[in-house]
Chains A and B, each alone.
Chain A
Amino acid sequence: MGKVGIIGVGQSAFVRGYPGSIRELAFEGFKEAMEDAGIAAAEIDASIVCSAPEYDKQRSPAGVFAEYLGLIPQPTCYLESLCSSSSMGLRFAYSLVKSGLHDVVAVIGFQKMSEISSAESQERMGRGADIQWESPFGTMMPAYYAMYARGHMAKYGTTLEDLALIRVKAATYGQINEKAVYRKPVTFDMFSDPESPMSGPVASPLRVGDCCANADGSSCVIVANEEKAKALSRKPVWILGLGAASTSVNLAGRDLFSGLTVAQAAGEEAYKMAGVAPGDIDVAEVHDCFTIAEMMAYENLGFAKPGEGKELIKAKETYKEGSIPVNVDGGLLSKGHPIGATGGSQIRTIVLQLRGEAGEMQVKDPEIGLVHNIGGVGLYGNVSIFGR
């Protein structure tokens, strides 16, 4: 069996209040990926539809999308691992292609979060945690990640100012990403200005500026075997390494509160499979649903030693010109986080970077890229490594 490549990537703009239905939203990311690949729907042998459940009235969206996108009578199914759904979709597409069962597989991620209110959305996301023993206390995503922020601060002396620097970096690139939902500039001083929405409290110690926004969006990644990839694509990007892990859903079953064990484990597995080390990564997309999540990602992926992530951002090493550019498309903090579409959007960014087609966001001549995508509160972790 040969290599597995990516021959097409696409995403919709990530927006608030998408003016269409979920099948129409999915069409946008799919169309861009298919035009990028330059193939017809008949050449897709199977599709995997990825999102977090309970945002839509539509049950089993895979069949509806397959019909709308012209992907019948090929097999299709729905797959979810919360916020890392489409990275998990890539993992399953890889295995379908690697096994020889299919030649070309489409991974379609989507989420239309604006169907419900923000409070309802927090309730849905809170129920991605332990509904028997944690949700009855009134939990929500920002508060869980805030507990990790507090743990990181207590152990390493990380400060709110360190975290604000990550949001400032995200906004630097969000402003030049036409697909991002948040395109306004964010300055460091906004976090200490009580008049600025960035400084508003959400769940201590995290503030509004530390949190990504809900958004509607879709993404699509077309995966092919080596023969098809070489025949169909001018510049295939190869999947070099895949890692995935899970942990206890209830925080009571965990031991680490200054990092995510799933990211450590998935990272180690992906590095081993790809035969590369953290220092070999030229450009990375990490799951910055909150500023603290990017800080922990630096350390869990080995870009910095535990507790030293703050030095990376202070020295601007994760900016486009730095030693390890991270989220130079604005990340989830600026792009927005349409849960099921996020992983595919991260993969799209890395594929465009490795092809040298990232425009204003282009990092200088990258050869190896990495995607870190987390589901739930560090419940599921996927790390994927790509090369030219």
Chain B
Amino acid sequence: MGKKKKEVDDRFKRFGTVSFTSITKVNDFIDYLDQGKVMGTRCKECGLAFFPPRADCHNCFSSDMEWFEVSGTGRLVTYSRLQFAPIGFGDDLPYAIALLDYGDYKVFGRIAGDVPEDQIQVGMEMTTRPNTLPNGQLNYVFHKA
């Protein structure tokens, strides 16, 4: 009869090629990715929308949040295509990191690997979709709208 091990909710370790965080109050983000949804949080008190999702609102100090889905299209604000990568990301090369503007919030992520570089234009409309990486980890990527 050993002491029962306390269960640790470390779902967030599945986020990205290499995750540097495993425990967070917004771990449900990972379950939503599994279900094919990219989700942000909105404060139920003041209505502020957050992406990336937050557990706590800095505006009204409430921790009463609801999830909303990142849907529709965002405008490509800027991007960069990497020819070198930090340690742990070399197998993903080349890849492009980018920022989409959805109006109420922005989303930082990667452009899908199958979007040819000559078709990427600042200002173009793109969508955000969950993605499974070759190593089994999860992230989300931007596709042409």
Contact = CB atoms under 8 A, between A and B. Distances in A.
Interface of A: 117, 119-120, 122-123, 126-127, 130-140, 142-144, 146-151, 154, 201-206, 250-254, 257
A386 B144 CA distance: 50
A127 B86 CA distance: 10
20 contacts: A119-B85, A123-B87, A127-B20, A132-B20, A133-B108, A134-B108, A135-B20, A136-B137, A140-B84, A147-B97, A149-B80, A150-B80, A154-B122, A203-B80, A203-B82, A206-B80, A252-B51, A252-B52, A253-B106, A257-B77
B86 A126 contact: yes
A147 B16 contact: no
Contacts of A142: 80, 84
Interface in B108-144: 108-110, 117, 122-123, 137, 139
A135 B88 CA distance: 11
A182 to B, nearest CB: 19
Contacts of A147: 78-80, 97-99
Given A132-B20, A136-B16, A136-B139, A250 B82 contact: no
B143 to A, nearest CB: 15
Band of interface residues on B: 35 or more
Most A C-beta atoms less than 10 A away, residue of B21, B108, B110, B122:
B108
Contacts of A151: 77-78, 122
A194 B81 CA distance: 19
A252 B21 contact: no
A251 B139 contact: no
A122 B87 contact: yes
B95 interface: yes
4 A-B pairs closest in CB distance: A136-B16, A138-B89, A146-B80, A123-B86
B92 interface: yes
Interface in B62-99: 77-90, 92, 95-99
Contacts of B110: 137-138
A251 B110 CA distance: 13
Contacts of B137: 136
Contact of B78 (A117, A134, A150): A150
B52 A122 contact: no
Contacts of B83: 201-204
A131 B24 CA distance: 12
A137 B109 contact: yes
A97 to B, nearest CB: 34
A138 B99 contact: no
Given A137-B16, A139-B86, A150 B95 contact: no
A134 B139 CA distance: 11
B18 to A, nearest CB: 6
Contact of A150 (B18, B24, B122): B122
Interface in B1-34: 12, 15-21, 24
Contacts of B24: 132
B82 A252 contact: no
A132 B52 contact: yes
A149 B80 CA distance: 9
B6 to A, nearest CB: 23
Given A137-B139, A252-B52, A203 B81 contact: yes
A155 to B, nearest CB: 9
Nearest to A136: B16
A89 B138 CA distance: 40
A205 B82 CA distance: 9
B97 A138 contact: yes
A142 B97 CA distance: 12
Given A123-B87, A150-B122, A252-B52, A136 B19 contact: yes
A123 B105 CA distance: 27
Contacts of B123: 154
Contact of B17 (A120, A136, A202, A253): A136
A132 B21 contact: yes
Contacts of A251: 99, 106, 108
Contacts of A201: 83
B14 to A, nearest CB: 10
A123 B20 CA distance: 11
Given A122-B85, A204-B81, 14 more contacts: A117-B87, A119-B86, A123-B88, A126-B86, A131-B21, A132-B21, A135-B18, A138-B92, A147-B97, A150-B80, A202-B82, A250-B52, A252-B106, A257-B99
